[in-house]
Amino acid sequence: MMTDKIVCVAGASGLVGSNIVKQALQKGYRVHGTMRDANDESKTKYLMALPGAAERLTLFSANAEDSKTFDAPLENADAVFIACFPPIYKAKDGTPAKELDRERGYDEIIRPVRDGCLNILDAANRHGVKSAVLCSSTSSTNPPQPVEIKTEQNAVSDAEHQMDQKKYTAAEKIVMEDAAAYFCQKHGIRLCVMLPTMMTGPVIMPQHLEGDSHARFIEMLNGNNTHHERVPAGSMSMSHIEDVAQLFIAAYESDNAQGRYFAVYDSWSWQAIYEEVAKHVPESALPQPLDGQPEQPTRFDFSRRNSLGVSMRDIPTTLEETLNWMKTDPFNAVYQ
């Protein structure tokens, strides 16, 4: 399906953003992608190699600190996908976020994300864009009192509580969400917020392999255990990155979609994850067995996610596709 509709992807060179670009091109959209430096060939060459990119992808330099830099990419756009705010773990001087006092934690970890998101939305509003899809995180779904089964409505973090615990990196997401929701309600913009966690699967550019999950799997394929000395008792939520991107597109295309959506397939115990990974990596890469019984994984109600109509790959399939793809050494000298 070809269309004259333009969608803007803020953060087009990121893990999530690049996959949104890929999915949007596959669906026939014209795509305006933003990145800090649209002349950075080490990234642009991979985006421009995507099917349909030569005809329908235009890249722009834009910085979330300056709303005006988004005027050109948002001109005539029908929607904006905001995927340019990865977690901030350190202050400008390198101090870990958890070591900051409350004032610095807010000013250097939380405020830049909140203000940057609002700058993009302000530009979208100036250009009459009425649909926005925001990438947040399940770090915004941890209420002070745990819930038995998480829904998008009952699993809402309390920013004040998180900041009291010096969890500024987690608090940045719920503060961003709240600010975006208020802005969009005020200006009549339909907002969908996607909530992913650990995303794996084939990636679009080698820089994405430097992220925690992919880098960990590369080390394991090489026989190295660099993450867990012993299998943890806890759990991890996972999803295939391409499925996450499809959820973003589906949320935009569903006129009635609004609000928060889990963007994970499910949560598995680390024990179950490592049992699956063991089928694909050397034994030397595996941690020592769990001492005791695994904790119950996080439980979700996926009714809202399922309403978007995206069929998501299960965790064994996601791990298999990721690890088998890495074994092909797609960017050369990755897996040895």
Q: What is the pLDDT of residues 146-165, one digit of tens each?
A: 999 999 999 999 999 999 99
Give me the helices (H) in the chain, please.
15-26, 41-47, 53-56, 71-74, 102-105, 111-126, 159-164, 168-187, 212-221, 241-253, 270-277, 303-306, 315-327
Q: What is the percent of the chain with per-residue pLDDT over 70, rounded to a whole number? A: 98
pLDDT above 90 as % of the chain: 94
Confidence at 212, pLDDT banded by 50, 70, 90: confident
Confidence of residue 45 (pLDDT cuts 50, 70, 90): very high
pLDDT of residue 202: 96
pTM: 0.95
pLDDT band at 1 (very low <50, low <70, confident <90, very high): low
Helices (H) and strands (E) in the chain, counts: 13, 10
Buried b or exposed e, range 106-144, using 16+ CB within 10 angstroms: bebbbebbbebbbbbbebbbebebebbbbbbbbbbbbee
Q: Which of 276, 115, 127, 248 is nearest to 191 (CA)?
A: 248
Q: Indicate the pLDDT class of residue 336, thresholds 50, 70 and 90.
A: very low
